Amino acid sequence: MPLLMVSPRPSPPSRPAEDGTVLAFDFGSKRIGVAIGATLLRRASALTTIEAETNETRFAAIARLIQEWQPALLVIGLPLALDGTEHKMTARCRRFANQLHGRFGLPVVLTDERLTSAVADTELREAGLGWRVRKGRVDALHPDTALVGIHTGGVWVAERLHAALGLVTPLGSLDVSFYRDDFSRSGLHAQLKTSDIPFEVEDRPIVIVDDVLYTGRTIRAAMNEIFDYGRPARIDLAVLVDRGGRELPVCPRWLAQTLQIEEGKNLQLERSETGVLTLRLADA
Amino acid sequence: MHNPQLNKDGALQHLLTIDGLPREILNAILDTAAPFTEVAEREVKKLPLLRGKSIFNLFFENSTRTRTTFEIAAKRLSADVINLNIGTSSASKGESLLDTVDNLCAMQADMFVVRHAMSGAPFLMAKHLADTRQEHIHVINAGDGRHAHPTQGLLDMYTIRHYKKDFTRLVVAIVGDVLHSRVARSQIGALTTLGVPEVRVIGPKTLIPADADRLGVRVFHDMRAGLKDVDVVMMLRLQNERMQGALLPSPQEFFKYYGLTVDKLACARPDAIVMHPGPMNRGVEIDSAVADGQHAVILPQVTFGIAVRMAVMCMLAGS
């Protein structure tokens, strides 16, 4: 799934409740809903559904999710009768919780599901309006669509999206340093990357992908650069986070999160050696 | 000692010579050049970085190729390029170099690319710009007398790095007219700064400076011995126009002893690359079979030269 998790910094295991990623399970005998959350955003969103044929395939799928998201804490919604008494599913769910704890050695918390179902409903509706790449949405993209990630964070996001969407056009990447509007003030940045557009731009729909949208100047530079490769059919913008503070009329078509971040702070996507993406907030 | 090429922040202000430039700056230039190589493959071979800048090509000495590659580099960066062929203009009317510079500064020049037969002319210009408090104007040395030709040295380093990746295990031989060659001086400076463990110069005694070993190179007068197991062969042009007196019996004799042939090249490593700064004198310093052969990287040198010059111009203009 192309959904990305964010947490303020790599989480020390000793402080799971304050820091890091949380995976939440909605246990059912046929399928298990999985949601993901983190403390920086203070919200969770639906991640995937595991269709469980057998115990083994079920736990193999969960193992993959844990490997990918490196959660610090697992949360399981405990089904209770409306009056709060336990029933047959409650006992099976407790057994599932014990198995999770035993297999993965992560802290497991059981929580009263009744209190969160209303919230979850809202979350799902919001997610539907937001940037959730579902089968239906994939079909809505033109088959020739090309993704272009902006170095460096945007390329990481674009790589995940490219795989999730199953696009055939190879992934492009841009280092917009040569098109920045502050060259005469600050010169070239160190560590230039080479732009790579491995497809014909002429008449092709293009989606620019970036991690954090701020002033919009990077997107302006990226659009200028793309036009030097040819005339695209259209350009759309997908970003992980919109932090506000626009200085140009730029608006994303797809957006995962809006965050209010004060001026002077730097919000940056980082990638660990295992490929886990983390948003870090630091003083600029 | 104050390096007139660096500003007070240690960034490159002018590019006058490779001597005295730290390895970090050489690597920064090579790293910056890499993404510029890709621009040539685009529909629009142009970047907006130097839009609105005026670059004056001041060539007091003839050179078609170097001037052309500087011109292409500047134009791909969207700069306005003005070519002055000084041989046919004011200098022949008696104007001094610095008067020419002052006049062009009054035309809002942003950068000078200068080639001059006198060693040190670009230094004089850089000093004059500092003395007249015009530090925002940059100078690139495109070859001064026998002294230096830094962008050629840098594009040679870019080429070597492209094919051989690591400088610290290479044996490099520079062959031919080292005495008159500003290219050789820049190459030696760059190779030693970048950590090449063994640099050799090969040529007749009359064309090797007497104190060449002080540059940190091994001197060979026998070409086969000098080429043994080298990774990179850097040929030099025989500079007939700079020779005074009887340094060579004849071009034919030079070719016999120091011309690079397939036979002599067989002494080098099987994967050796052959470079030449151009223009080549076929049948004098290099045989056509080598110049057009599979070891030659002479045309890629020209292509890389544009990217390296773009990188240098951007680093100066952005400093």
CA distance B17 to B182: 10
Q: Are residues B233 and B286 in the same domain?
A: yes
Q: Where are the alpha helices (DSSP H) in B95-229?
A: 97-105, 121-131, 150-164, 182-193, 223-227
Say if residue B1's pLDDT is above 60. Answer: no
Is the domain of B159 the same as that of B141? Answer: no
Please tell me the total count of domains within chain B: 2
For residue A266, being part of any structural domain is answered with: yes
Domain termination site, one of A91, A126, A161? A126
Q: H or E element: which one contains B56?
A: strand B54-59
Please provide residue A92's backbone torsions phi and psi, each rounded to the nearest 5 degrees.
-65, -35
Which DSSP string corresponds to A23-92? EEEE--SSEEEEEEEETTTTEEEEEEEEE-SSHHHHHHHHHHHHHHH--SEEEEEEP--TTS---HHHHH
The reply to whether omega before A198 is within 30° of 0 (cis) is: no
Question: Which chain A positions have a beta carbon within 8 Å of B35's beta carbon?
Answer: 175, 177-178, 192-195
Structural domain boundaries, residue A41 = 17-126
Which B-chain residues 4-33 have CB contacts (< 8 A) with chain A? 11, 28, 31-32
CB atoms A201 and B49 under 8 Å: no
Q: Which of A178, A184, A229 sits opposite B47 (nearest CB)?
A: A178
Q: Determine, yes or no, domain membership for B96.
A: yes
Please determine, for the modelled complex, whether the ipTM score is greater than 0.90: no
Q: Which of B305, B254, B304, B262 is nearest to B281 (CA)?
A: B254
Q: What is the pLDDT of residue A166?
A: 83
Cβ-based contacts under 8 A for chains A and B: 53
Q: Is B318 on the interface with A (CB under 8 A)?
A: yes
Would A278 be classed as within a structural domain?
yes
Closest partner CB to A228 (pick from B11, B37, B46): B46
What residues make up the domain containing B177?
150-302
Q: Is residue A107 part of a domain?
A: yes
Establish if B78 touches chain A: CB-CB under 8 angstroms: no
| H or E stretch at B172 | strand B171-175
On whether the CB atoms of residues A188 and B315 are closer than 8 A, the answer is yes
Give me the average pLDDT of each 10-residue run along chain A (284 residues): 38 45 83 75 70 82 87 84 79 88 87 57 44 41 91 94 88 94 82 91 96 96 94 95 94 90 89 87 85
CATH number at residue A58: 3.30.420.140
Could A188 and B318 be called an inter-chain contact, meaning their C-beta atoms sit closer than 8 Å? yes
For residue B319, list chain A residues with Cβ-Cβ distance below 8 A.
187
pLDDT recorded at residue A131: 40
Distance CA B180, CA A251 (A): 61
A169 upstream amide cis, omega within 30 of 0: no
User: Between β-strands A146-150 and A172-174, what pairing exists: parallel, antiparallel or unpaired?
Assistant: parallel
- Length of chain A, in residues: 284
Cα separations (Å) of B80 from A54, A90, A134, B71, B90?
Answer: 71, 77, 50, 9, 21
| B14 found inside a domain | no
Cα–Cα distance measured from residue B68 to residue B80, given in angstroms and rounded to the nearest whole number = 14
Question: Considering the domain boundaries, does residue B8 fall inside one?
Answer: no
B234 pLDDT higher than 70: yes
Nearest to B315 among A188, A194, A195 (CB): A188
Same structural domain, B198 and B311: no
State CA B68 to chain mean position distance. Answer: 14
Tens-digit pLDDT profile for residues B75-106? 999 999 999 877 666 666 778 889 999 999 99
- The verdict on A163 and A278 lying in the same domain is yes
Cβ of B161: how many Cβ atoms within 10 Å?
A: 18
The torsion angle over the Cα atoms of residues B36, B38, B41 and B42, rounded to 10 degrees, is -70
Measure A208 CA to nearest chain B CA, in Å: 19
A118 in a structural domain? yes
Number of domains chain A contains: 2
pLDDT recorded at residue B48: 93
Give CA–CA dist A100/A109, Å, rounded.
Answer: 11
Is the domain of B85 the same as that of B162?
no
Is the Cβ–Cβ distance between B176 and B258 less than 8 Å? yes
B136 interface with A at CB cutoff 8 Å: no
Nearest to B47 by CA among A227, A218, A235, A209: A227
Backbone angles phi, psi at B140, to 5 degrees: -115, 125
Residue B72 shares a structural domain with residue B101: yes
Structural contact between residues B8 and A193, judged by C-beta atoms closer than 8 angstroms: no
The better pLDDT of the pair A16, B66 is held by B66
User: According to the model, what pLDDT value does residue A123 have?
Assistant: 46
Chain A nearest-CA residue for B44 = A228
Are A183 and A268 in the same domain?
yes
- Confidence band, pLDDT 50/70/90 cuts, at residue B316: very high
Domain-located, residue A160: yes
**pLDDT tens across B254-272, in order?**
999 999 999 999 999 999 9
DSSP A2: -
B47 touches chain A (CB under 8 A): yes
Within this chain, do residues A261 and A188 fall inside the same structural domain, yes or no?
Answer: yes
Q: Do B315 and A187 touch (CB under 8 A)?
A: yes
